Chains A and B, each alone.
Chain A
Amino acid sequence: MKPLIFDNIDEPGLNTLAVYERRGGYEMLRKALAMPREAVLQEISDSGLRGRGGAGFPMGMKAGFLPKGDMPKYLTCNADESEPGTFKDRELMQKSPHMLIEGIAIACYAAAITQAFIYIRGEYRLQGDILEAAIAEAYAAGYLGDGILDSGQPLSLVLHRGAGAYICGEETGLLDSLEGKRGNPRLKPPFPAIQGLYDGPTLINNVETLATVPHVIRLGGKQYAEIGVERSSGTKLVSVSGDVQRPGNYEIELGIPSREIIFGLAGGPQPGREVKLWFPGGSSSPVLTRDDLDLPYDFDSMAKAGTMLGSGAIIVVDDTHTVLEVMSKVVKFYAHESCGKCVPCREGTNWTHKMVHRIESGEATPMDLDLLASVQTQIIGNCLCVLGDAMAMPVGSMVAKFRPELEAEVEAARERAGTPSLASAGAGVPVH
């Protein structure tokens, strides 16, 4: 397969307009502007392009939800990329910022949007600087501004830098943050497509999703849909990290066996080690084991396996690490990043964090694993956004899939801490 997004990605100067144009850049914007808006939207719908940011919602359908009419509408590119294990948007923005800008311009044209924002996480200073320069070039060249390419379609694009909060990747948290507030998620409905930024209809898509749009236009929607598998069309950037020999971003055709990514591309664990568990789609996805390595890597197969493709971030953990260690990091992350707005997430993540700490300090009993699992089920489905679930699901999956190992770790921790053995202390959860 020939890469689409990562084609020429390391070409020196690709981040500049001159090189990007030499590589055929912005031709697709010209092509799109020559088509009726509806036709462009139709191509996107035909492509079956599903969101690359986490939820995998078809982009064409989302853009189709935007009400027609004259009200101000907005596009927001989600470049907050904070899901642990995910770093694809970073490389894309750093090396090919104009591809993103072109995708944004086409999407805005298709959805009759005249004001767009890129919300980039504040930590991405380099990428933000590069994008800012690219935006300035695009304005100067007439790809952005009052009438892009003399089409009469105005488009203004503003880069907005965040300041460090994972929840601002959640689309409604992002909107509040972009409005200058704390990045707390909003109740849905209303969905952003109906009432989003400044209460106007708002299309929110991930960097990679938008950067794919020029390729959809180039190939044609139907043609694009031929790549990949049914209901998971196209290519996907996969960030592979953890215990592998060649960590990094890989562009793959959706539907290839996971083993091919983890072992074929990323080289698998260091010699002599074995995969113990892996996250197929960022730290929010329920974990898989070495038995799942042959699953096809696409949205539906992952869903069928009880997990999700998410952002396409594969984190591999080999057998030199304990499950408890991984769980502890996951839990600490979500407890730190919970925005605190809703009760089950705020208290659930923080309670879980304390529980895991108790396990680690040798003060727990194996029965506490039941409590841990039960608290996770109490979180799932009850929160305002899905950050709570994003901790509860992987943690729940670890308890379910690695119970014997976790029990052994509970015991081992007790031993380390010198806590009296259960036989003498009398097992059980203290009742208060």
Chain B
Amino acid sequence: MKEKVFDGDFYRKLESISLKARMSMTEGAAGGRKSKAKGSSVELSDFREYVPGDDYRRIDWNAYGRFDKLFLKLFMEEREALINIFVDSSKSMDFGDNHKGYMALRISAVLTYLALNNLDRVVINRLKGDSLVQSSSYMGKSSFQKAIQFLEATEFNGNTNLARAVKQRDLKSRGISIVISDFFTTGSIEELVKYLAYKKQQIVFIQILDEDELNPPFGGQVRLIDSETMEEVNITLTPKLLKAYRNKLKSHQGNLKELTKKYGGVFLQISSSDSLEKIVFDTFAKGGII
């Protein structure tokens, strides 16, 4: 890698982010995460009257002494969640002064860090072509460095069919699936969303776009070259055409948002030039993922 993705600056930011942010997925099954399902845990949630068959170990004897009735202590069940992070490693992510791919890796790292802090399980998946490379399942803060190593080994080339690649991962249990990509993909996004929803995943799509993609800075006669396919297009860029481009981008994002919303997911769009803090505290907070 030309540039160090995870430098000292990144770790400092990470530290400050983790102090302020806690991942709080409303629905999910995470270890450090309070779930609505009541279970056996150390944190008291409620009381109810004893009915035969209950575990008498949970009877609150102090309450029996005061009220002469048997009450059971109800504890919040703490479940661990499985978080799958899918990182698009196509050539189109290898672009920009503020590198899209690096930004994807950093966000993955931040999310991993936050998740591990929350005692969740994290699996990172690199998507490439029609397939994916899966990391081992990380648990506990100690495994963060392994996750970083896995992320650092990412190379961006080729093109990716998101739907097909993600489908390679057989998701057995409920969890959170975070897909980080520019979503300029050949395959159907809807197919991907449907698959994840079917697998009972909470869907989080994070679209990373370069500033050049958000507001193309060129005009006149240009020959645009696709970085993935090397396909060329000659085009005379007029303000009107640029406007059409921006409209197209907006509607593309709108579609993605609609689609994810329909399946209870979140779609977030970030620019590769945004700062990590802004992404975490602004975009992620608004999107409700922390």
Q: Do A and B bind each other?
A: no
Interface residues of B (CB under 8 A from A): none
Interface residues of A (CB under 8 A from B): none
